[in-house]
Amino acid sequence: MPAEALGSKSFNMGSWLAWGAAGALVLALPLLFRQGFALTLLSQMGIMVIFALSYNMLLGQGGMLSFGHAVYSGLGAYFAIHALNLIGKGVLALPVSLLPLVGGLAGALFGVLFGWVTTKKSGTTFAMISLGIGEMVAACSLMLPGFFGGEGGITANRQAGPPVLGITYGPAVQVYYLIAVWTFLATAAMFALTRTPLGRIANAVRDNPERAEFVGYDTHVVRFLQLVLASFFAGVAGGLSAINFEIVTAEAVGVMRSGGVLLATFIGGVGFFFGPILGAVIFTFFVVAISAMTKAWLLYLGLFFIAMVLFAPGGVASLLALNLSAARAGLLGRLAPAYAASAAAGLAALAGFVALVEMIYHLKLEAVNDPVLRLFGLTLDVRAAAPWVGAAIVLLAGSALYWLAWKRVRARWNEVHERLGERGA
C-alpha cells in the first residue's frame, strides 16, 4: 500500500488544495444542477457520505464488521425528529441548523449503552452481536409505537422555530447547504480523528490486537471509544436525514439500512479514508437515480457488489490509487490503449447484458400491457426473437472481446509493476 494510503505523509499544501477544491465543488454544485431531482440526489449523497465514513471508522479503521450500524443513525434520526417537533411546539429553543447535533448525541448515547458489551471481542463475535442488536432494535421499533410511530413513522415540519440568520429551510437549496456544511465538517472531523493517537491505535488494534495489548493498550477500550465516536457521526447523518425527509420510519433502524451502508462502504473501499465517500456517491446514485430508471436496479446493485467482492476487494478507491501510482510514475500512457480497448468491449458487453435483463423484466412485468420496450433509443418488441438474439450476440461478442482486451491490460500492468518495482528499489 502506498504511504499516502496509510496517511503517514504530513498534511501539506496539496492536501489543503484538495480539501479546498472539495469544499468549493460542494458549494458550486447547486449552481450547476438547478433541477429539484439533482438537489435531492446531492442531499442524499451528503447524508450517505457521513454515514459511510462513520461506518468505515468501525470496519476500515477499527476492523469491526458491523451488521447493525443503522441502529445508531436511526435512533439519532428519531431523537432529532422528536426534537424538531419540540422546536415546532416552542418547547425547545434550538436553531434547526444544530439539530444534527441532537442526532449525534443520541447516537453516541446508544453507542455508550450498547458499545461496552459489543466491543469486548472483534471478529465474528462482534459481527454476530451487532447483528443481534440491530435485529433487536428493529423489532423494538414495532413494539413501542409511542416513540417509533408504528407503521407510519414520525413526521415533522422543518420550518420550525424562529428563523436564525434568515434561514427557514423552506427552499430545498437551503437544506442542501445545511447538509453540505455538515458533511464537510463531519468529514474533516473524521479525517482529523484518523490522525489522533486514538485513530492510530485503532489501526493497531485492527491489525494485531495481541501486540497492541502488549504495548499497553486496552483493546476493548479502544474499540469502545471508536464505536462511540462512529455512533456519534452516524447519529449526525440520521439527524440530517430527519431534516431532509421530515419523516422517520422504522426503516431507519432496519436491517436493510445496516446492509446498505456496508455495501456502500465496501464498494468505495475500506482501506482508504476517501473510499467510503466514493462508495456513498455510487450507492446513492444506484438507490435514487438508477432505481428511478429501471426496476432491475437491485439486481444491478447486487451484481456490482458481488463483482467488486470477487475482482476488486479493495473497492473503487484501491483501483484509483493503483492507477494514480502508475500516473505519478508517468506510466499511465502505456496502459491507456489497453484500457480504451477493454472499456469499449466492456461497454458493449454491458449493453448486451442490460438489454437482456431489461427485456426479461419487461416480459415479466409489463409485456401484458405493452410488448414494446424502449431502450438506448431503440424500440424492442420483447415478444419477437430478433431483439433477444441481437442482445445475446452483443453480449457474447462483447465478452469475448473484453476477455482478449483484458489479457492485454494484464500484460501491460505486469510491465508497469516491474517498472514501479525498479524505481522503488
| 290 is a site residue for other proteins (CB under 8 A) | no
Distance CA 283, CA 162 (A): 36
Query: Which residues, numbered 20-79, are part of the site for other proteins (CB under 8 A)?
Result: 65
Task: Tell me the torsion sign for CA atoms 302, 306, 311, 317.
Answer: positive
Task: Give me the residue label for grid cell 465514513.
Answer: 53
| 152 is a site residue for other proteins (CB under 8 A) | no
Q: Which of 262, 280, 345, 355 binds other proteins (CB under 8 A)?
A: 262
Q: Which of 196, 313, 400, 411 binds other proteins (CB under 8 A)?
A: 313
| 133 is a site residue for other proteins (CB under 8 A) | yes
Compute the half-sphere exposure of residue 170: CA atoms within 13 Å on the CB side of its CA: 7
Least Cβ distance, residue 259 to other proteins (angstroms)? 7
The amino acid present at 218, given as its one-letter code, is: D
Q: Which of 230, 225, 253 is nearest to 75 (CA)?
A: 253
Least Cβ distance, residue 340 to other proteins (angstroms)? 27
| 127 is a site residue for other proteins (CB under 8 A) | yes
Buried b or exposed e, range 186-216, using 16+ CB within 10 angstroms: bbeebbebbeeebbebbbbbbeebeebeeee
Q: Which of 2, 14, 90, 132 binds other proteins (CB under 8 A)?
A: 132
| DSSP H stretches of helix in 33-171 | 36-62, 70-89, 99-118, 123-143, 145-148
Residue 240 or 263: which CB sits closer to other proteins? 263
Q: Which of 305, 297, 182, 172 is nearest to 245 (CA)?
A: 172
Grid cell digits, residue 1: 500500500
- Number of residues assigned to the chain: 425
Least Cβ distance, residue 16 to other proteins (angstroms)? 34
Residue 26 or 106: which CB sits closer to other proteins? 106
| 282 is a site residue for other proteins (CB under 8 A) | no
The span of 1-9, 94-102, 125-133, 223-231 binding other proteins (CB under 8 A) equals 125-133
Distance CA 324, CA 328 (A): 6
Cβ within 8 Å of residue 259, ≥6 positions away: 67
Give the per-residue contact string, 104-123, with other proteins (x = CB under 8 A; - = no): -------------x--xx--
Residue 19 or 147: which CB sits closer to other proteins? 147
Binding site for other proteins (CB under 8 A): 65, 117, 120-121, 124-125, 127-129, 131-133, 135-136, 139-140, 142-144, 146-147, 255, 259, 262-263, 266, 296, 298-299, 301-303, 305-306, 309-310, 313, 360-361, 364
